Amino acid sequence: MPAFRHEVLVVGSGAGGAMAAYTLAKAGHKVLMLEAGRDYDPKTETPMFQTNGEAPLMGASTRDKNFGFYDATVDGGWQVPHEPYTTASNSEFLWWRARMLGGRTNHWGRYSLRFSEHDFKGKSRDGLGADWPFEYQDIAPWYDKTEELVGVCGTNTGLDDMPPSPEGILQPPPQPRIPELLVAAAAKKHGIPVAPMHRAVLTRPKDDRAACFYATPCGRGCSIGAAFQTTTSLIPMARATGNLQVITQAMVKSVDVDDNGRVVGVTYVDKHSVEEHKLTARVVILAASACESARILLNSKSRKFPKGLANSSGQVGRNLMDSTGAYLGALIPALKGRPRYNEDGHTANHLFIPWWGHKMQEKGDLDFPRGYHFEISNGFSQPGAWVGGNLQGYGPALKQDVRDHYGAYVGFALRGEMLPNPGAYMEIDDKVQDKWGIPVPKFHFRWSENELRQVEHGLKTARLLLETMGATVGDVPAAEKAISKGGEIIHEVGTTRMGSSASDSVTNQWGQTWDCDNLFVMDGGVFASNPHKNCTLTIMTLTMRNATWLAGQLDKGML
């Protein structure tokens, strides 16, 4: 094999890392990717049609497989073997990781909503949090390109929270299901819109990837490549250019600098031999996920950078944001015993409730800033360990009861924007190291009144909709009780935020750190705010834009 001489090191192979590697490789730059997890091939490893009944414990979640036996996550979940993290007293934070090629893109929900013009300039509007260093128009063409490459189904709705894609970009969404149609009618009665969800799922074939065949839950991964994951798309496509090589089981410990403070490469631990190696490169891109990238920077201390690398602003690890989450569901009596049909579809929301409150907020009618959306849980899904519910009696009458209740529940899962607050951040716990000798993150987390009032509004709205569908709901729980734990929604971002000034941000709008011009961050860490529209499409879009800019810089010999 001829020697492969890389220019760029990319740390991580998830949404950010794979898009960075793909973009650079396509532009003719040689990339070496380091991934802490094992190699992983969805084509040969995905349990597609295996049933819950064939799995241990009917597929139920356990300590080992937190989202069920068949979930694609390898060596991860709320805990990674031998890689602990800590939380400050009085804080609760959950940190979901996966240790595998492709990272969490192998099992993410694929909900892929564009941020809108409101989202990039929230501070200009309501004075809270931080603005992004660019506007929606600047990133819109990159959303177009990313949606095209990734493959997103959905429609242009004309709603103010859902900016349109150019004609021909979105693939047709699947038909709505019965409970979704009922929700849509109930919502319409109250002036609340319901729209086709945008999902990174192919409904038309693309490249080497087949169209969805409307069976098999996407959280297991998708062996036919219909559900987007980097291991069936960006990584093989980048490898095919000859410009990408990947080292798996390579846990990056720190970014190395020379005496002048210039980044020269990284130090990583080979997990097989547990030995440290150093690699040099012209440019280093961190895309290990928001909190891992911040951790690497904070652990990269040198004489020149005693507070950690790229941290002259003191913002590395700060501004930690997740999405808010809350859930309210109920039995809909009118749906009991409803006619059966195949309701799998693409196994996630065909319809959802986008944020409808921008106008109300402008008028000052709401007592909280920023928005949320509802994902709808419903349907005749494959029976699992909890299908029996909590019914009474025994015998044929009981069985009939189970059949009647099956598919008759509807639930609303709120996902909302969190604003940064000074009590939500991560730092390094000097007292605890992982198996590889790397100090671990320590999380501090709290919600503010903004999030609690938003959740309160959401719960009331969900109750209204359930009651409109004929359900008996009763009192809704208090927002403090109902709101998710920090990190639980797995949209953690902001820990290396971008901005327009080196004094209060870690990178510029290109993800280039203010302190080291050949060091970039290309994951959710760079988010200046965390809009309710799930983060990953924007991670990929920003990465495509910024890696393209970086390729231009390299071409010009700038770095």
Partner 1 sequence: MTEQQHSHHYQSGMTRRESLKWLGLLVASSTVSMVSGCGDWTHTAQSGAGHWPDLKLAPITARGYGQDPNLLIPPESPWPKTLTAAQLELVAILSDIIVPREGSVPSASQVHVPDVIDEWVSAPYSVQQQDRVTLLHALAWIDDEATLRFNANFAALDPQQQLAIVDDIAYDNEHTAEPFRQIAGAFGRLRSLVLAAFFCSPVGTRDIGYMGNVPIAGDYPGPSDEARAHLEEVLADLGLSDCAYSG
Ligand X SMILES: Cc1cc2nc3c(=O)[nH]c(=O)nc-3n(C[C@H](O)[C@H](O)[C@H](O)COP(=O)(O)OP(=O)(O)OC[C@H]3O[C@@H](n4cnc5c(N)ncnc54)[C@H](O)[C@@H]3O)c2cc1C
With CB under 6 A as the contact rule, the residue among 72, 428, 539, 550 that binds ligand X is 539
381 binds, among ligand X, partner 1, ligand SF4, none (CB under 5 to 8 A by kind): partner 1
Beta bridge partners of 162: none
176 belongs to the binding site for partner 1 (CB under 8 A) = yes
Of 10, 440, 490, 506, the one binding ligand X by CB under 6 A: 490
* Rounded CA Rg of the chain: 23
Query: Cα dist. 132→264, 294, 450, 530 in Å?
Result: 29, 19, 20, 11
Q: In this chain, which of 2, 364, 396, 474 binds partner 1, going by CB under 8 A? A: 396
Position 99 contacts ligand X (CB under 6 A)? yes
State the Cα–Cα distance between residues 379 and 384, nearest whole angstrom: 13
Residue 12, interface with ligand X (CB under 6 A)? yes
Residues in the site for ligand SF4, rule: CB under 6 A?
201, 212-213, 215-216, 218, 222, 224, 226-227, 346-347
Minimal distance, residue 65 CB to ligand X, in Å: 12
- What residues form DSSP beta bridges with 266? 255, 279
Q: Is 447 in the site for partner 1 (CB under 8 A)?
A: no
User: Is residue 349 near partner 1 by the rule CB under 8 A?
Assistant: no
Instruction: Using CB under 8 A, pick the residue from 4, 57, 307, 480 that binds partner 1.
Output: 57
Report what 198 binds from ligand SF4, partner 1, ligand X, none; CB cut-off 5-8 Å by kind.
none
Q: Kindly indicate which of the ranges 135-143, 154-162, 286-294, 308-316 contains the residues binding ligand X, using the contact rule CB under 6 A.
A: 286-294
Q: In whole angstroms, how close is the CB of 249 to partner 1 at the nearest point? A: 13
Residue 19: CB minimum distance to ligand X, A: 8
Q: Which residues have C-beta within 8 Å of that of residue 301, sequence separation ≥ 6?
A: 307, 308, 309
Of 216 and 349, the one with the shorter C-beta distance to ligand SF4 is 216
Q: Which stretch binds ligand X (CB under 6 A): 14-22, 52-60, 364-372, 550-558?
A: 14-22
Q: Which of 111, 142, 425, 443 binds ligand X (CB under 6 A)?
A: 111
Binding mask 189-208 for partner 1 (x = CB under 8 A): x----x--------x-----
Name the binder of 534 from partner 1, ligand SF4, ligand X, none, CB < 5-8 A by kind.
ligand X
Helix ranges, 89-167 (H): 117-120, 122-126, 136-150
Burial class (CB in 10 A: 0-12, 13-18, 19+), 91: middle
* Torsion sign over Cα 367, 451, 523, 156: negative
- Span near ligand X by CB under 6 A; candidates 10-18, 166-174, 239-247, 497-505: 10-18
Query: Which listed range, 64-72, 89-97, 274-282, 424-432, lies at the site for partner 1 (CB under 8 A)?
Result: 64-72
Listed residue (252, 236, 250) closest to 284, CA to CA: 252
How far apart CA 553 and CA 99 sit, in angstroms, is: 32
- How far apart are CB 156 and partner 1 at their closest, in Å? 12
Site for partner 1 in 289-348 (CB under 8 A): 334-335, 338-346
**Residue 56 contact, options partner 1, ligand SF4, ligand X, none, Cβ 5-8 Å cut-off depending on partner type:** partner 1
Running DSSP on this structure, what letter comes out for residue 530? B
Per the DSSP assignment, residues forming a β-bridge with 351 are: 196
Between CA 429 and CA 401 the distance in angstroms is 52
Q: Look at the alpha carbons of 187, 189, 190, 193 in this order and tell me if their dihedral is positive or negative.
A: positive
Burial of residue 90 (CB within 10 Å: 0-12, 13-18, 19+) is exposed
Question: What binding mask, one character per residue, do residues 34-53 give for ligand X by CB under 6 A, x or -?
Answer: xxxx----------------
Give the binding range for ligand X (CB under 6 A) out of 42-50, 98-106, 390-398, 450-458. 98-106
Footprint (CB under 8 A) of partner 1, residues 74-103: 74-77, 81
521 forms beta bridges with 286
- Report the candidate in 360, 473, 466 with the shortest Cα–Cα distance to residue 412: 466
Distance CA 329, CA 471 (A): 9
Cα separation, 78 vs 61, whole angstroms: 12
Q: In what order do the strands lie in the sheet with 372-377?
A: 324-331, 409-416, 372-377
Rounded to an integer, what distance in angstroms lies between the CA atom of residue 130 and that of residue 321? 12
Helix (H) or strand (E) holding 269: strand 263-270
The answer to whether the beta carbons of residues 122 and 129 sit under 8 Å apart is yes
Residues 295-354 binding ligand X (CB under 6 A) are 296
CA distance 85 to 80: 9
Q: How far is the CB of 78 from partner 1 (least distance, A)?
A: 11
Judged by beta carbon, residue 216 or residue 315, the one nearer ligand SF4 is 216
Q: Can you tell me the distance from the alpha carbon of 153 to that of 151, in angstroms, rounded to the nearest whole number?
A: 7
Smallest distance from the beta carbon of 395 to partner 1, in angstroms?
A: 6
Q: Which of 8, 9, 10, 17 binds ligand X (CB under 6 A)?
A: 17
Residue 394 touches which of partner 1, ligand X, ligand SF4, none (Cβ within 5-8 Å per kind): partner 1
Site residues for ligand X per CB under 6 A: 11-17, 34-37, 67, 96, 98-99, 103-105, 107-111, 250-252, 287-289, 292, 296, 490-491, 523-524, 534-537, 539
